[in-house]
Structure 1
Amino acid sequence: MLKRLSTSIAGILLLLVFFVLVMLNNQLLGSVRLDLTENQVYSLSEGSKQVLKELDEPVHLYFFFSDKASKGMTSLRNYANRVESLLEEYRSASGGKIVLHKVDPEPFSEAEDEANRFGLTAATLGSAGDAIYLGLAARNAFDDEKVIGFFDPQQESFLEYEISKLIYQLSDPKDVKVTVITDLQVQGGQNPMTGRFDPAWTSITQLQQLYDVQVLGSDISQVPEDTDVLLLVHPKAFSDALLLSIDQYALGGGKLMAFVDPHHESDPMGAMGGANSSSLDKLFTAWGVQFDAGNVVLDAATGLDIRTQSGVTRHMGFLGLGREQLDSKDVVTSGLELLNGASFGHFTPPTGTSLKWHPLLTSSRSTSLMDNMTYAMTRDAKQLSSGFVDANQSYVLAARLSGRANSAFDALPEGSEPQELLASGELNVILVGDTDLLTDRFWVSQSNFFGQTIFTPFANNGDFLTNAVENLGGSNALISIRSRGTFSRPFEVVQALTVKAEQAFRDQEQLLQQQLDETEQALAQLQGQRSDSGALVLDAQQQEALEDFMQKKIEIRKALREVRHQLDKDIERLGSWLKLINIAVMPILLVLLLGLLARLMRKKAGEVKHG
């Protein structure tokens, strides 16, 4: 009796200890997180934490998800939970600066009106035609608003970047100032060969529609102080004073994108004397980067077909870089399909430094190098292939460069203004080994529509430039956030259940869909019976038939939703069993195992004592 009583008291004490520990955990360890996933997908990167740390005013996040309307959509609901968990991490790490609101925009509700007012995208999923919201709206203390119209599960690797970018834009809403330094006629001008006026480059015009863009020539000696992003397009013979200003701008935290080229063949005058190459050797040498301005990369695999007098010929110097040559894990190149350019040069990564090197564009391995002077004087594309020798090597055509670098100047050059020199600093640079890709002929076509010139893109060159400026226009913390892993993993049991369920219910779904189509056709025929005045004219029998068809349509749509729900029923049942096993069965088994071990240890101790 006494032994049974002591066991009961021990159980009660154990239960009390459990509740006390839970309360202490909630009070003292509520903000502690342990992310054991492979790519830390439920944790914030240091860049996101820095963006939150720099918040001066609260930011309200409104997470819109159609919870009730999405029942049965297992994969979408799982992704919505993933987004919600990450938003909770932002709220938890912000120290109260992020206020999270969760909204279910049910049909015909005020919440749905609010989602529409923010401009969120209502996706119509499934044959039942339900509108599903899965988006984010944000507002700062000054009533500035930013939105993510719909969270695309296909872009999950950039989920954290998109959310952090939205928060950063609300914390620093000023316009991005872009300075372009070039001697090329990017804003249009008279063509010296034809005498005609060439229009502005569409890539630059597109930037001007999005940002505050200033185009300057190489005759300046200073980078404007208010520059957020600096673009160098085909730099040639820059003065030491200008190179010093660019050097100090980059080391002082400025964002730089440089387009260099072994041969800019889009300049009608520049190619008349042979190769028309760029030069930033003084800065590249200081950074440890090598750019081969003397050779053009020929690529047999990505060469574009061009039309000549003798027919269609592959031009190995005109490259069409597809997805295999674009880095899918970087926000600048992810989602792009094709980049066209000409006479690319290649970069060699820095060695012996702490600089980080991240290739964005690469060639295929079916490549060869040709001297830029020989290339510039070659007029027939067939001659490029006649002497082609495959080097079986892939070359880096564009890359990111970041980290600490030294200045290219140890003293002030003659003629520069007195200033204190930065000996080193943190770089954030994107280098591109071609300038022709910015010109219209490689990515947009022109057509005349009632006297107005219409530009239609056939490649993503403009998107590449815009993505890069948008990325560089953010803070260093935001730039450091790139693609993350995905939380989903192949689940063979679930996949097998899905296939089995689809086979079982597909015929029923198709039959219901056919009935729905027939009903809608009959409704259209009845509603088409109108008088000369436009009014709907139906007799009593037709009116009854119309009401029956409307009721039948509602019933069929309901049945379709039920079928769709049945498709995921076995998966949800499996999930319930897994939750039961993880939450209840496993802890019970662990307690029983610990109890058995304790009993064995007491028994062993008793044997030793009596022995």
Structure 2
Amino acid sequence: MKKITVVSILLVSGILLLVNVISQKFFVRLDFTEGQQYTLSKATRDILKNLDNPVTVTAYFSEDLPPEMTKIRKDFQEMLVEYGNASKGMVDYEFIDPNVHKDKEEEAVQSGIRPVVISVREKDQSKQQRVFLGAILKMNEQTDVIPMVVSDEGMEYSLSTSIKKMSVVNKPSVGVVQGYGAPTLQDLGEVYQSLSILYTVMPVNLDDNALDLQQFKAIAIVAPSDTIPPASLAKLNGYLANGGKLFIGINRVNGDLQSQSGTVVNTGLEMWLASKGIMVDSSFVLDAQSGAVTVQQQQGFFMMNTQIPFPYLPLVKQFSGHAITKGLEQVILPFASPVSFTGTEGTFTPILTSSSKAALSPAPTTFDVINKKYTSADFQMSNITLGGILDGLPGGGKLVVFGDGDFPVSGERGSQNKDNINLMVNAIDWLSDDTGLIALRTKGIATRPIKEEYLGDDNAGKRNFMKYLNFGLPILLVILYGIFRSQTQRNLRLKRMQERYL
């Protein structure tokens, strides 16, 4: 008997050891989330597969973290294990607690990893704690820093872009036109930062006759407000004819909330686009699905800041399946204009449209932000094109055009809606034939906004029906199951009584 027990223990131990060894070689995870949140994307696998040099990740994470931060550490470590497996050992990692090793704390801070001060409760007392949640990546002599590792949503993007940034040897050039009242590279800071991973971003002066535009894989023209000379625009013709790629965000109208007025913007760029068959009308697109503005309203004796929906700020939530817009959730276009195509050369494909409740307001016009109450009668149009692609041009040139130039501008705030930035960066990637990071950039936890058919006062009945259905249906199912279970038990008891009786 003892011999059988010992044999069984040895057999089970051997099986567990074998499974452990196999699991180190073959890592498998079943991922049933909609966006495959816990599965490495194809872009990441391609980056890791093409690594020529090993990457070392030094993760500076404090111990004794609160539960939500402990999860971040655990998820980051599991992701590094997957990176190591997918790269066939080319990615290695180690975890260091800087709070224990003071020399390592200085090393982390000098490298750009700053401690975060958090409040924790211990023995019914609240205290401040300095924690580290960053990582340093090294490849040969190159170094890149992730100052703070965020939750699952951006973890893979941070890691993969850092590795990609170090592994790219000769970055292609992307130009951004400067002057003519266009935003500076500093105003486009978030776009610049994202593009710098794959490209060398350079300012472009169209008035410089010595500048060779063909050196740029793509050129962006964003929100010029002053007149562009015809000679400068003519250079774009030569660039396109030789297979050049252009991104254009054009403002045909300007909205001023201070004066509550809207005016027409003429720069000459609209006429150049018209020569290609792309018409950007000098009208405002209004959308029932819109962003909001903050206004001051009197409430009793106080002036309160109130958020008011403003249809002149279309909020796009429905996107085509095109690579540029795939994965985006919402983009806000302040004071946008409609885009249409009347040309005969090339193929125009809309990629950004308004909702099914939209309207147009010709400029110049005035706004009544506070007093104007919009109803369904004010939105009699649907799916107005706000941006599109023109390709198939002679020479292989391509254009991506949006009827708004302000959407990617960070400006003095230094921040912009994430998907606004992704839209422009995705467009540049697509124009440059490098779509590898697009799917990874927009990979995230999907939100579930209320569908358009349930919005507005006219659809209050539908909303109430769904609300009461969601509340009452589970209760009804439990009651029905209880009745069924009770009836089944009753029938079983009757059957047993009859058997005993017989």
Matches of 1:273 and 1:120, distance apart in 2:
47
1:390 aligns with 2:379: yes
AA of the residue aligned to 1:224: L
Report how many aligned residue pairs link the two structures: 399
Q: Is the 8 A contact 1:64 1:136 kept in 2?
A: yes
Larger Rg, first or second structure (1 or 2) = 1
| C-alpha distance 357-18 of structure 1, shift in aligned 2 (>3 A) | farther
1:231 to 214, 220, 226: 220
1:345 to 327, 338, 343: 338
Note the alpha carbon deviations across 1:90-120, whole angstroms, 9 max, x for none: 1221233322122122245222222112121
Note the alpha carbon deviations across 1:188-234, whole angstroms, 9 max, x for none: xxxxxxxxxxxx79636998898743223389899734325420347
Matches of 1:462 and 1:178, distance apart in 2:
21
| C-alpha distance 65-334 of structure 1, shift in aligned 2 (>3 A) | farther
AA of the residue aligned to 1:99: D
Q: CA deviation at 1:241?
A: 7.8
Q: Is the 8 A contact 1:47 1:477 kept in 2?
A: yes
Look up the match of 2:440: 481
2:202 to 190, 193, 213: 213
Matches of 2:110 and 2:86, distance apart in 1:
29
1:260 to 250, 254, 258: 250
| C-alpha distance 346-249 of structure 1, shift in aligned 2 (>3 A) | same
Helix, strand or coil for the counterpart of 2:69? Answer: helix
Matches of 1:277 and 1:331, distance apart in 2:
23
Q: CA deviation at 1:66?
A: 0.9
Helix, strand or coil for the counterpart of 1:76? Answer: helix
Look up the match of 2:175: 179
1:49 to 35, 45, 50: 45
Look up the match of 1:407: 392
AA of the residue aligned to 1:476: T
User: More displaced, 101-110 or 233-242?
Assistant: 233-242
Q: CA deviation at 1:46?
A: 0.6
Note the alpha carbon deviations across 1:556-608, whole angstroms, 9 max, x for none: xxxxxxxxxxxxxxxxxxxxxxxxxxxxxxxxxxxxxxxxxxxxxxxxxxxxx
Equivalent positions of 1:47-86 (< 5 A) are 47-67=43-63, 69-70=64-65, 73-86=66-79
Q: Is the 8 A contact 1:259 1:434 kept in 2?
A: yes
| C-alpha distance 299-282 of structure 1, shift in aligned 2 (>3 A) | same
1:18 aligns with 2:15: yes
Note the alpha carbon deviations across 1:325-384, whole angstroms, 9 max, x for none: 999xx9999999996733422579xxxxx999875xx656652024xxxx23x354469x
Look up the match of 2:116: 123
Matches of 1:149 and 1:335, distance apart in 2:
25
Where do 5+ consecutive residues of structure 1 fail to align? 188-199, 308-313, 349-353, 410-420, 445-455, 488-611
AA of the residue aligned to 1:33: V
- Structure with the higher fraction of residues in strand conformation: 2
Helix, strand or coil for the counterpart of 1:117? Answer: helix
Matches of 2:27 and 2:255, distance apart in 1:
58
2:164 to 158, 168, 172: 168
Matches of 2:359 and 2:351, distance apart in 1:
22
| C-alpha distance 220-206 of structure 1, shift in aligned 2 (>3 A) | farther
1:435 to 405, 418, 422: 405
Look up the match of 2:136: 137
Note the alpha carbon deviations across 1:121-178, whole angstroms, 9 max, x for none: 2112223222111111112212x3221111233xx32221121111111112767743
Equivalent positions of 1:388-537 (< 5 A) are 389-391=378-380, 393=382, 395=384, 397=386, 407-409=392-394, 431-435=401-405, 456-457=412-413, 460=416, 464=420, 468-469=424-425, 472=428, 476-485=435-444
AA of the residue aligned to 2:37: V
Q: Is the 8 A contact 1:258 1:430 kept in 2?
A: yes
Q: Is the 8 A contact 1:47 1:481 kept in 2?
A: yes
Helix, strand or coil for the counterpart of 1:43? Answer: coil
Look up the match of 1:557: none
AA of the residue aligned to 2:103: E
1:113 to 82, 106, 114: 106
Q: CA deviation at 1:8?
A: 5.8
| C-alpha distance 63-12 of structure 1, shift in aligned 2 (>3 A) | closer
Matches of 1:117 and 1:145, distance apart in 2:
13
Matches of 2:93 and 2:185, distance apart in 1:
43
Matches of 2:368 and 2:207, distance apart in 1:
37
Q: CA deviation at 1:79?
A: 2.0
AA of the residue aligned to 1:152: V
Helix, strand or coil for the counterpart of 2:74? Answer: helix
Note the alpha carbon deviations across 1:294-317, whole angstroms, 9 max, x for none: 75412465476899xxxxxx9999
| C-alpha distance 466-79 of structure 1, shift in aligned 2 (>3 A) | closer
Matches of 2:102 and 2:309, distance apart in 1:
59
Look up the match of 1:203: 187
Look up the match of 2:301: none
Look up the match of 2:469: none
Matches of 1:257 and 1:179, distance apart in 2:
10
| C-alpha distance 89-436 of structure 1, shift in aligned 2 (>3 A) | closer
Matches of 1:97 and 1:78, distance apart in 2:
25
What TM-score do you get using the length of structure 2 for normalisation?
Answer: 0.59
Matches of 1:89 and 1:324, distance apart in 2:
33
Q: Is the 8 A contact 1:262 1:345 kept in 2?
A: no
AA of the residue aligned to 1:90: Y
- Structure with the higher fraction of residues in helix conformation: 1
AA of the residue aligned to 2:163: I
Look up the match of 1:102: 95
Q: Is the 8 A contact 1:138 1:145 kept in 2?
A: yes
Q: Is the 8 A contact 2:319 2:325 kept in 1?
A: no
| C-alpha distance 277-80 of structure 1, shift in aligned 2 (>3 A) | same
Matches of 2:415 and 2:113, distance apart in 1:
28
Q: Is the 8 A contact 1:125 1:131 kept in 2?
A: yes
Matches of 2:73 and 2:386, distance apart in 1:
38
Matches of 2:422 and 2:187, distance apart in 1:
8
Q: Is the 8 A contact 1:223 1:249 kept in 2?
A: no
